[in-house]
Structure 1
Amino acid sequence: MLLTVNQLTKTYGAITVLSEISFIVNAQDRIGIVGPNGVGKSTLFRLLTHSEDADQGSITFAPGVEYGYLPQATPDFYGRTIDELIKEAVGNLYQLQERMQQLESAMSQATEDQLPALLEEYSEVSTRFQERGGYELDYKIDFVLSGLHIDYLPRDRDVHTLSGGEKERIGLAILLLSSPDILLLDEPTNHLDFASMAWLESYLAAYRGALLTVSHDRQFLNRAVNQIFEIDEHKHQLKVYSGNYDAYVQAREAERAKWEEEYERQQEEIKALRKRIREARLRASRTHFGPARDNDKFARYSHEQSAQRTSASKLHMAEALLQRIEADPIPKPPELLQGNWQFNGEPMQSQVVLNFSHVSKQFGTRSLFRDLQLTIAPRARILLTGPNGAGKTTLCKLLMGLEQPDEGQIYRAPGVRIGYLSQEPALDPQKTVIETYRYDQVGYEGEFVGRLIGYGLFRLEDMPKKVSQLSQGQQRKLEIACLVARQPNVLLLDEPTNYISLDILETFEAAILNFPGPVLAISHDRWFIERFGGQIWELRDEQLQQLDSADYLQAAWLDAV
Structure 2
Amino acid sequence: AEIASLASALSANPNDAQLQAKYDSVLKQLSAISDQPLAILGPLGLADIPLETPVRHLSGGQKTRLMLARVLLEEPHLLLLDEPTNHLDIEMLEWLEDWLNRFQGAALIVSHDRAFLDNTVTSILELDPNTHSLKSYPGNYADYLEQKLTEREKQAQAFQDQQDEIAQLRAAATHIRGLTKMKKGGKADGGDKFATGFFGNRATKNVAGRAKHIEARIDKILSEERIERPKSSWQMKLDFGAPAHQSKDVLVTESLSVGYDKPLLTDLNLYIRAGQRIALTGPNGTGKTTLIRTIAAKLNPLAGSLKLGATVKLGYMAQEQELLDPEWNALQTIQSVAVFNETEARNFLHYFLFKGDDALRPTRELSFGERARLQLGLLVAQGCTFLLLDEPINHLDIPSRARFEEALASFKGTILAVVHDRYFIERFASDVWTIKDGKVEKW
- TM-score, normalisation: structure 2: 0.82
SS in structure 1 opposite 2:222?
Answer: helix
Question: Where does residue 545 of structure 1 map in the other structure?
Answer: 440
Contact 1:433 1:462 in 2 (8 A): no
Q: CA deviation at 1:224?
A: 1.4
Distance 1:355 1:162, change over 3 A: farther
Distance 1:234 1:437, change over 3 A: farther
Distance 1:497 1:450, change over 3 A: same
Distance 1:355 1:244, change over 3 A: same
Contact 1:495 1:523 in 2 (8 A): yes
Matched, 1:343 2:236: no
Distance 1:421 1:384, change over 3 A: same
Contact 2:349 2:359 in 1 (8 A): no
Please point out which of 123, 145, 163 is paired with 1:267: 163
Please point out which of 132, 137, 151 is paired with 2:47: 151
Contact 1:166 1:388 in 2 (8 A): no
Matched, 1:170 2:44: no
1:100-123 deviations in Å (ceiling 9; x for gaps): 99xx9xxxxxxxxxxxxxxxxxxx
1:54-100 deviations in Å (ceiling 9; x for gaps): xxxxxxxxxxxxxxxxxxxxxxxxxxxxxxxxxxxxxxxxxxxx9x9
Contact 2:46 2:66 in 1 (8 A): yes
Distance 1:290 1:192, change over 3 A: closer
2: distance between equivalents of 1:493 and 1:190? 16
Task: Write the letter of the residue equivalent to 1:524.
Answer: H
**Residue ranges of structure 2 left out of the alignment (5+ in a row):** 6-25
Map 1:151-550 onto structure 2 (within 5 A). 151-162=47-58, 164-289=60-185, 294=190, 296-328=192-224, 329-344=226-241, 346=243, 349-364=246-261, 366-426=262-322, 427-429=324-326, 431-453=328-350, 455=351, 457-458=352-353, 460-461=355-356, 463-464=358-359, 466=361, 467=363, 470-541=366-437, 543-547=438-442, 549=443
Task: Write the letter of the residue equivalent to 2:250.
Answer: V
Q: CA deviation at 1:252?
A: 1.3
Please point out which of 119, 125, 141 is paired with 2:37: 141
Q: CA deviation at 1:208?
A: 3.6
Q: CA deviation at 1:349?
A: 4.1
Task: Write the letter of the residue equivalent to 1:256.
Answer: R
**Residue ranges of structure 1 left out of the alignment (5+ in a row):** 1-97, 105-129, 550-561
Mean Cα displacement is larger for which, 377-386 or 489-498?
A: 377-386
SS in structure 2 opposite 1:147?
Answer: coil
Distance 1:462 1:194, change over 3 A: same
Task: Write the letter of the residue equivalent to 1:546.
Answer: E
2: distance between equivalents of 1:268 and 1:313? 23
SS in structure 2 opposite 1:503?
Answer: helix
2: distance between equivalents of 1:525 and 1:291? 81
Q: CA deviation at 1:196?
A: 1.8
Contact 1:163 1:389 in 2 (8 A): no
1: distance between equivalents of 2:92 and 2:187? 95
Distance 1:161 1:405, change over 3 A: farther
RMSD: 3.2
Q: CA deviation at 1:491?
A: 0.9
SS in structure 2 opposite 1:353?
Answer: strand
Q: CA deviation at 1:487?
A: 0.9
1:422-470 deviations in Å (ceiling 9; x for gaps): 22444445544444333332122222333343x4x42644744634565
Task: Tell me the percent identity.
Answer: 35
Distance 1:310 1:432, change over 3 A: farther
1: distance between equivalents of 2:403 and 2:305? 37
1: distance between equivalents of 2:31 and 2:209? 82
Contact 2:246 2:312 in 1 (8 A): no
